[in-house]
Structure 1
Amino acid sequence: MGSSKKAANGEAGGPDVDNTVKLQRKITLMNGVALIIGTIIGSGIFVAPAGVYVSTKSVGISIIIWCLSGLFSTLGALCYAELGTSVTRSGGDYAYIYVAFGPLAAFLLLWVSLLIIRPTTQAIVAITFAEYAAKPFFDECGPPENSVRLLAAVCLCLLTAINCLSVRWAMRIQSIFTAAKLVALVVIVLAGVYHVGTGHLENFDHAFEGNYDVTHIALSFYSGLFAFGGWNFLNFVTEELQDPYKNLPRAIWIALPMVTGVYVLANVAYFAVLSGVEIESSPAVALSFGAKMFGQWTWLVPIFVALSTFGGVNGILFTSSRLFLTGSQEGHLPDLFSFIHIKRSTPIPSLIFTCVTSLAMLLISDAYILINYYGQILWLSVAASIAGMLWLRHKHPDAPRPIRVNTAIPVIFLLCCVFLVLFPIPTQPWNTVIGAAITLSGVPVYYLGVKWKDKPRWYHRGLRNLTVWVQNLFEVTPPEATQMLSQS
């Protein structure tokens, strides 16, 4: 299959000189860095510090937990750099599990992502954006629930439209809002440095007194790692990253240490200004911090958080659509999910589906409960990807691996992932049962929807008519046939 010079250079999308239509390599190194940082830094750093401290009751231990969470995420990202350069397909965990363990295991991950992980995550981050964006207009009380959900829906629809129109515009938004959230965190850090510089060190007295119980320390990692969520999202768009062999690991080495450093310094600032009691009683640490440090300018803090979460929604939408596109290319979703615009090279049907499922989650009053069910599944999928990497090393030892990390790194990371999956079972058995039930419900769907080829004519006719209608409505077409994962 020929690739044009235009595609190689990542210029404007559309048909190449050989009249094929495919995703273009438009994501630069800095775009990749912005995508990682922009997806990681959402609402977590503004609210999760309370969760870490509540479990440890110690300033010193909390700061160590944040350092270790960043190190853990960096180790995982390095493993994914090897995966992303040896299995050079978009789709992230789905692609890696497919190559290592076959189509059924990959479909179950896709099924859970389709039903729970992606739409719920997008809805929650969009709701967080809406709550903080509306906060300056409601000083005396919280904004009305319906107003928040409406604003969240506007956020999702606006960003979906931008992602449909242009990859470059989506990346520009990611870069701009990543810069904005870094500025917000730098302001918090500088305010904390000023506070410490004026002699306020009393909150660091007896910093390492606290709760050293292993159970509570493990629970504190859930809050810390939640704030680092998104470190592997660049792997979902490998096919659109310019020179992925070089830029994927470079983006990881730039983004993860930067996020870890900013997170640790932000927590030092929080602890310098707020006492342990204030942190424990605060629903959003950043708001309590702003109220003490910025006075009449406190309203800037919810604006900062809104900017942060807006960029987070954009990153999740962008990567979710590529996950569903890859699943369609493998025959696990209807063909139309893999269609892209003939001129803009954007996966419009997949983006719209991602938006619609997220909007549906906004209608569910207990969407926050759903997010508890997928935590174990999420870490299980990561563990399966790392296990798949070790299995592929054993099965295909001579396969090209432009990046190969020391074996100790994936082994240590895998053991930590297994711990994160197994630890909550005794304390949250029903979450485990429900998560397992949702996952296993994909087995009959796989055999009926994917493996059953001799379906009734009316099914094929209806699906074909829908596909043609979508093609005509959105001016989309099947992408160039690329190497299938089943041939890897």
Structure 2
Amino acid sequence: IQQISLSKKKSQNKNRIGICLIVGTMIGSGIFISPKAVLEGTGAVGPCLCVWAACGVLATMGALCYAELGTMIMKSGGEYPYLMEGFGPLLAYLYSWSTIIVLKPSSFAIIALSCAEYASTPFYPGCTPPQVVTKCLAAACILIITVINCLSVKLAYRVQNFFTAAKLLIIFIIVISGIVLLAQGNTQNLKDPFAGATTSFGAIGLAFYNGLWAYDGCHEVLLCCFLFFYNRNLPLAIIIGIPLVTVCYIFVNIAYFSVMTPTELLQSPAVAVTFGDRVLYPLSWIVPLFVVFSTFGAANGSCFTAGRLTHVAGREGHMVRIMSYISVKRYTPSPALMFNGIVSIIYIMPADINTLINYFSFAQWAFYGLTCLALIVMRFTRKELQRPVKVPIVIPVLVVIVSCYLVLAPIIDKPEWEYLYCTMFIVGGLLLYVPFIYYKFNWTRCIMRPLTMHLQLLLEVVPPEKTK
């Protein structure tokens, strides 16, 4: 009986840890920057809240698919090993290339821009901050975070822990304030929620892009797979954790609508700042301060993971060898971190937040769909693999169908240049894959060797095996 009791307690503790990891990973900058774009794509309060709920359902289904993949193929590298097992090295390489060149830098840029937007808005009351100010602040944010991650792993962890607490605190303040306002009768903007809804085939897709950006950390539940593998608690943590985040996001949006009409929300330069000015005065400065903390912490997490992915890609030969090198003094992958920071700053220069979200989401959901398709394919081609977690086949089928819609609908309804640029960047990876990886053309002697030598001396970095 005592052993059974201890086993139950351990299982419950693992459930709590898993739920906390999922909630802590998913809640980031998205809930502070996406509400305007989701409302713009739906046109009314009712459809807006429905999109947020649907995004939560889709994120849950996608996470369950990833739980099966993560417990079936226990390898690190995100989607890379699943695409490798399902479709072979070409698609796996394109994912690795796209993650380093498109997904991680654009994600870092989006979060840095949102941090800069909330940092600058209080200094321009009643109007939108100038773009040059926002972009300069975003570039400064990227530089500071890159330097922190290059200097020390421990410092990066401490920054992350502090700003994660700030993130959860501001969400708690907004949700509780919204509940109080609703209890006081501030429900006029919720009485006829579907009035004035104007949607289209592509607009709903763009609304989903922005809503799903706030749920993007759902695929990070792979980090929990090894923790829950033996007692199969991962699906339960997903089924509890992601709906908790969904409820939280819906309550945050309801809190916004309790003090702002849809028109006022669309006109607000920073929704959470406007909410704080109307509800928490004279302590309204708390909201932009803690939102900046939250987005800064999310940007730090994005930089930390992106640097490691680029480092691994360099080690596997998918990027130039210098990317796999490590600082002699600080044991950080500084070349990979610097590369990610430079590309992120380049993305900031010509684009705004919504353009970057569309650019990011287009590529991200193409690979999410392919990953879930790989799960379906392996049900028939890799029957011998053990599946401690096995989801009904209808779930990955639905995720693949929705992914196709999310990739194609915005292009069909309203073609934009960012989709073409994103496609060019992804397909452009073939120009490197064919000669240097497929045919193994040795270009290091004539081109990269002297450059690598000078960068080694400048950055004081060595191959990882030399640090052991």
Please indicate the TM-score interval, normalised by the length of the shorter structure: 0.7 to 0.9
Matched, 1:74 2:63: no
Aligned equivalent of 2:79: 93
For normalisation by structure 1, the TM-score amounts to 0.80
Determine the C-alpha separation between the residues in 1 that align with 2:198 and 2:269. Answer: 24
Q: 1:31 to 1:134 in 2, by over 3 A?
A: farther
In structure 2, the CA distance between the partners of 1:166 and 1:390, relative to structure 1 (3 Å rule), is: farther
Q: Could you say which structure has the higher helix fraction?
A: 2
Equivalent of 1:276 in 254, 262, 274: 262
Structure 1 residue 115 displacement after superposition: 2.6
Do the aligned residues in 2 keep the contact of 1:361 with 1:367 (CA within 8 Å)? no
2:306 matches 1:320? yes
Moved more, 311-320 or 202-211: 202-211
Which residue number in structure 1 is paired with residue 438 of structure 2? Answer: 451
Q: For 1:221, give the aligned amino acid.
A: F
What one-letter code is carried by the residue in structure 2 that aligns with 1:231?
A: C
CA 1:247–1:164 in 2, change beyond 3 Å: closer, same or farther?
farther
Separation (CA, whole Å) in 2 of partners of 1:380 and 1:155: 29
**TM-score, normalised relative to structure 2:** 0.84
Matched, 1:287 2:306: no
- Asked if the contact 2:30/2:213 (under 8 Å) is kept, the reply is yes
Q: Deviations over 1:398-452 (max 9, x none)?
A: 1123322221211111111111112112223344433322222221221133234
Name 2:10's counterpart in structure 1: none
Q: 1:421 aligns with which of 404, 407, 412?
A: 407
Contact 1:120 1:367 in 2 (8 A): no
Q: Is the 8 A contact 1:193 1:269 kept in 2?
A: yes
Instruction: Go from structure 1 to structure 2 and tell me whether the alpha carbon gap of 1:251 and 1:353 turns closer, same or farther (over 3 Å shift).
Output: farther
Question: Which structure 2 residues correspond to residues 329-368 of structure 1 after superposition, within 5 A?
Answer: 329-340=315-326, 346-362=332-348, 364-366=349-351, 368=353
How far the C-alpha of 1:280 sits from its partner, in A, is: 3.1
The residue number in structure 1 matching 2:453 is: 465
Residues 288, 137 of structure 1: alpha-carbon distance in 2 compared, 3 angstrom cutoff: closer
Structure 1, 419-428 or 368-377: larger mean CA deviation:
368-377
Q: CA deviation at 1:222?
A: 2.8
Pick from 106, 109, 115 the counterpart of residue 101 of structure 2: 115
Deviates more, 1:141-150 or 1:437-446: 141-150
Corresponding residue to 1:378 among 354, 361, 364: 364
The structural deviation recorded for 1:387 is 0.8
CA shift for structure 1 position 464: 6.0
Q: Report deviation, 1:454.
A: 3.9
CA shift for structure 1 position 141:
6.0
Q: Is the 8 A contact 1:35 1:315 kept in 2?
A: no
Identity within the alignment, %: 37
Q: Which moved more, 1:29-38 or 1:368-377?
A: 29-38
More displaced stretch, 140-149 vs 104-113: 140-149
Question: How far off its partner does 1:287 sit?
Answer: 2.4
Deviation (angstroms), 1:329: 3.5
Q: Mean alpha-carbon deviation: is it higher for 403-412 or for 199-208? A: 199-208
367, 389, 392: which is aligned to 1:403?
Answer: 389
Give the aligned CA root-mean-square deviation in angstroms.
3.4
Alpha-carbon distance change, 436 to 144 in structure 1, aligned in 2, over 3 angstroms: closer
Cross-structure match for 1:441: 428
Which sections of structure 2, spanning at least 5 residues, go unmatched? 1-13
Structure 1 counterpart of 2:350, one-letter code: S
* Corresponding residue number in structure 2 for 1:211: 197
Select which of 275, 287, 290 maps to 1:301.
287
C-alpha displacement at 1:273, in angstroms? 1.9
Contact 2:121–2:128 (8 Å) recurs in 1: yes
Contact 2:325 2:461 in 1 (8 A): no
> Which residue, out of 210, 216, 219, partners 1:229?
216
Question: Which runs of 5 or more structure 1 residues have no equivalent in the other structure?
Answer: 1-27, 482-488
Distance in 1, matches of 2:200 and 2:129, equals 39
Q: Which residue of 1 aligns with 2:170?
A: 184
Farther off after superposition, 289-298 or 427-436: 427-436
